Amino acid sequence: MSQYGYPQDGQDQQQLQDQQQQQPDAHAAAHHSKRRQYPTQQYNFNAQSPAPNSYLGAPGYGGGPSPQANPAAPGVAAAAAAGSNAVFTPAIANQPGSQGSFPNTQAPVDALANQFGGMGFSNGAAPFGAAPQAAASPYGAANQTYGPGGPAYGAGYGPLGAGSGGGIADTSNISSYGASAGAPVDPNAVPKLPLNKLYNLDLLSYLPPPISDLSLPPPPIILPPNAQLTQSSEANANHEYMRCTLNVIPKNRSLLKKSKLPLALIIRPYNALLNSSENIPVISDTDICRCRACRAYINPFVTFVNQGHRWKCNLCGMTNDVPAKFTYDTVNNVKRDLWARPDLNYGVVDFIAPSGYMVRPPQPPVYVFVLDVSAHSIQNGLLATVARVIKENLDRLPNKDDRCKVAFIGVDSSLYFFNLEADRNEDGTVAEDSDYIPSMLAVSDLDDPFLPLPTGLLVDLTENRKQIDALLDKLGVLFVNNVNTNNALGSALDVAHKLIAPIGGKIICLSSSLPNVGLGKLEAREDRKSLGTSKENALLKTASSFYKDRAIEFNRSQVSVDMFLFSSHYQDVASLSNLPRFTAGQTYFYPGWNASRPEDVVKLAHELGEHLSQELAYEAVLRVRGNRNVRMSGFYGHFFNRSSDLCSFPSFPRDQSYVIEVAIEDNIVQPWISFQAAVLHSTCESERRIRVITISVPTSDLLPDIYASADQLAITAYLTQKACEKALSTGLTEARELVYNRLLEILQTYKKELMTTNVGGSAPIQFCANMRMLPLLVNAIIKHVAFRQSAQIASDLRSSAICLLETLPVPYLIKYLYPDLYSLHDMSDEAGLPNEETGEIVLPQKVNLTGERIASHGLYLIHDGQTMFLWIGRDAVPQLILDAFGLDSKDKLPTGKAEIPETDTPLNLRIRAIISKIREKKDNITWPSLFIVREEGEPSLRHWASTFFVEDKTDQSLTYYQFLTGLRDKLNA
């Protein structure tokens, strides 16, 4: 066994050789790039290189009905002739079932393989896992071949072929639905769907784990042809907006309990910071069609009856009248094609709400900046930097209708207000010779703070722009000699709420010191000796009820809070984060931030600027509905749960997601059920809108169907939320035990209920292919900075990490748990260059997070979405350093937080392009800092970077191999 805990007995290598002989085409498809050599360098080319990626491919989902085999949809005329209860659907032949979130199912197999990281679909011809990498390395790396895949993931629409990928051809359960064209279809009479196949594998035979699985879409949702009204492939919402932990729902509560699998929805209503980056249909009908019983919105999965005059709700079964205007375009005054309506074709739509959905006119965008002006913010340069960043981004604030309002409040041991109202003429217009120097007023009463002026504190951005600019120009100078080290942040929050409570809006706090006076004052309670012990649990709980109690009042007034915290000392993030947590805000933590470092200034400027520019939804509520047989039983994320099923958001952020736990109450008899999430909100353009997200999922009473369609990434998101909840309520040890025991229960159930073959004496860990990454992700949760047992992690770091884990959308969450690792010294020729077709920068192939993949002569990039490390091996040759950084020695390279030197060498340009691509996001504000790490450099920095290798032993945790063998021993006990 190697030092990293993986078996080295030659068995895996033999399997690889056998697989290579079976799949010569996989190696023929490898990229044999021409790379420059450096023969004159004094370098030991016999140094140990990373072990070959010896895992074999795994079988996949497979087994769904082919779209080409779908029967014709019933015709309109035939439906009319069938009587009043006949199903009313458009007479379009060859109507396919829902393709859910599985895109481009009609594409050739090789195109799908390219799209999903070298995976084969349907016919099993392409290898599963990472594509083979070219052997040659210009910087001394030994030959590396990343092994070919095995049986392919089936696309779920046809039987798996028996091609070279090893897919199993099985057409025995592909049956006709028995629906002839023009005949009504009874949904309850549809024969059993050939759902995703269950493929078994041994986890210990697939080491290192195939990390390409982490980029896969969920198992396909397979619905019968009559489930949706039209042929639209987007009838089911894309998994970016809503995904279910189980893409086949158990038909009863006992089966769900028996499976040990969680049933939950992961909802992200917005996937871009700006509306222009999304392509969502907008319906401007003033008469919104909703079920009169359950209040669900009409969607692609309803049924029309009575010759199309009525529609049957797919959630509760109630029959409703079709509005008279439903088939008439009142805007253009013409008859509308019913089947072209967006709400009957798309799983995600926006409705423009009529006045009946408004309690009051839509509120304007309102921003109150609470700025720490104490000596701490002067010393680290925060106040001057923030003033400049806000001024530079005033034009980016949502203000298309000139209704945006702003206010500024300074705080140390007093509260400072600024009169920003311009002088006006008798007719009310702004005087041209108005004095642009704003006046400042101080309030020293911290226990009962008050507003010193009735007007002039909260002003229109457009009308008073010169006064605002003048204040921001002078703000840094105004307090430059301040020596007051106190911070009355709680009192400032209280008075900021009083200022905007009649309107609502957003309070943005920027603080670099612990609130130690006034309302909600806190004390430094962290003791380094308590870290890593049971006493640490108390540090993750709030020390003052002020910040949690105020959340209800703030939420009722439609006021949300965001915290930007910059202290280099203890700041009690655990307490301060409660107000953002329950007002739909976020806590951003910048430990050790200082304006003297350009990297810190750039990070703050980018993140604060993106935060201010995002188009928020105001006065928002989220309600999730399901069929009568299910109930929404748990809600996780940053919001306030106003009632049993209504989540309240004073402002709806665009970079967060939410987990809704689902309970089955009654037996489900339908072949599929639906879930629908609706967000009622006001836009920045003063419109009241409703975003409706709908998915339908098949049901089954067979445990293999449930396991074969489980979404491992969605399950990880659910388990992460449960771990955060447990850590905040009970402790870190209990949080780690919770996720471990849930995984153990799932594996035990799989072994007991689904394993029918004799596994012999090898005692493998058997699991289904579609969930084979779940143990790796659970291991990553346990090792994450939020939960890892360690005496070196400050409580502020843990608390800020928990805040991120509670809100990150699934792609960013998975990356935060299992970071990406790229090998830069031997990346393919196309990596770091624009793709010829898309123009997007091509990223290198990802590498497993284990020290066995790190060569001492190599150059690597690690990133988890929040931080990046550029790792330079101790034996990196001088030519690599020259090509990558333009320096003749790596000793001249800056280490720690820094940007790489810019030079015009091709390798440097490609590395900088890769870093820029990673930082480029349309749906997240984070600008990851870059840390340059030399393997023989500063030990603390090297140790920090090494904790990202979650497959290795870190602190008091096990290697992934040891983690699996421990699970195996418990399963076989």
496-540: pLDDT as tens digits: 999 999 999 999 999 999 999 999 999 999 888 888 888 899 999
Distance CA 502, CA 557 (A): 7
How many CA atoms, within 13 angstroms, populate the side-chain half-sphere of residue 850? 25
Nearest to 823 by CA among 133, 208, 214, 211: 133
Nearest to 434 by CA among 456, 404, 453: 456
Q: pLDDT tens across 932-966, in order?
A: 999 998 999 999 999 999 999 877 789 999 999 99
Contact 70, 96 (CB under 8 A): yes
Peptide bond into 209 cis (omega under 30): no
Mean per-residue pLDDT for 210-232?
Answer: 93
CATH number of 366-613: 3.40.50.410
| Whole-number CA gyration radius for the chain | 30
What pairs with residue 754 in β-bridges?
none
Q: pLDDT tens across 627-639, in order?
A: 999 999 999 999 9
Query: In what side-by-side order are the strands of the sheet with 319-321?
Result: 303-305, 310-312, 319-321
Query: Which residue carries 């028995």 as its tokens?
Result: 178
What pairs with residue 351 in β-bridges?
283, 690
CATH number of 719-971: 3.40.20.10
Select the more confidently predicted residue: 245 or 477.
Answer: 245
Domain 366-613 matches domain 719-971 at the CATH topology level = no
Backbone angles phi, psi at 367, to 5 degrees: -130, 125
Alpha carbon dihedral 346, 351, 357, 358, in 10-degree steps, equals: 140
Mean per-residue pLDDT for 424-440?
Answer: 68
Query: Which residue carries 């078994």 as its tokens?
Result: 200
Contact 958, 782 (CB under 8 A): no
Place 756 in a pLDDT band, splitting at 50, 70 and 90.
low
Whether pLDDT at 688 is above 90: yes
Of 80-94, 656-670, 896-910, least confident by mean pLDDT is 80-94
Mean per-residue pLDDT for 723-750?
Answer: 96
What phi-psi label fits residue 111: left (phi over 0), alpha (psi between -120 and 50 degrees) or beta? alpha
Mean per-residue pLDDT for 655-669?
Answer: 96
Q: pLDDT tens across 532-553, in order?
A: 888 899 999 999 999 999 999 9
Query: Which residue carries 């949702």 as its tokens?
Result: 221
How many CA atoms, within 13 angstroms, populate the side-chain half-sphere of residue 194? 24
Token representation of residue 885: 């950084």
What phi-psi label fits residue 666: left (phi over 0), alpha (psi between -120 and 50 degrees) or beta? beta
Alpha carbon dihedral 510, 808, 802, 774, in 10-degree steps, equals: -160
The reported pLDDT for the residue numbered 26 is 37
Whether pLDDT at 108 is above 80: no
Contact 831, 33 (CB under 8 A): no
CATH number of 275-360+617-710: 2.60.40.1670
User: In this structure, is the dihedral angle defined by the CA atoms of residues 383, 389, 391 and 396, taken in order, positive or negative?
Assistant: negative
Whether pLDDT at 667 is above 80: yes
Distance CA 313, CA 296 (A): 8
Report the percentage of the chain scoring pLDDT > 70: 78
With 0.95 as the threshold, say if the pTM is over it.
no
CA distances from 416 to 433, 441, 458, 464, 967 (A): 26, 6, 13, 19, 59
Contact 931, 941 (CB under 8 A): yes
The reported pLDDT for the residue numbered 759 is 53
Place 164 in a pLDDT band, splitting at 50, 70 and 90.
very low
β 766-768/200-202 pair status: antiparallel
Nearest to 179 by CA among 300, 79, 98, 304: 79
Whether pLDDT at 739 is above 90: yes
Mean per-residue pLDDT for 846-857?
Answer: 94
Distance CA 697, CA 677 (A): 14
pLDDT averaged over every residue in the chain: 82
The reported pLDDT for the residue numbered 620 is 95
Q: Where are the domains of the chain?
A: 1-201, 275-360+617-710, 366-613, 719-971
- DSSP H or E stretch at residue 622: strand 617-626
Contact 843, 830 (CB under 8 A): no
The reported pLDDT for the residue numbered 67 is 36
The reported pLDDT for the residue numbered 55 is 32
Whether pLDDT at 425 is above 70: no
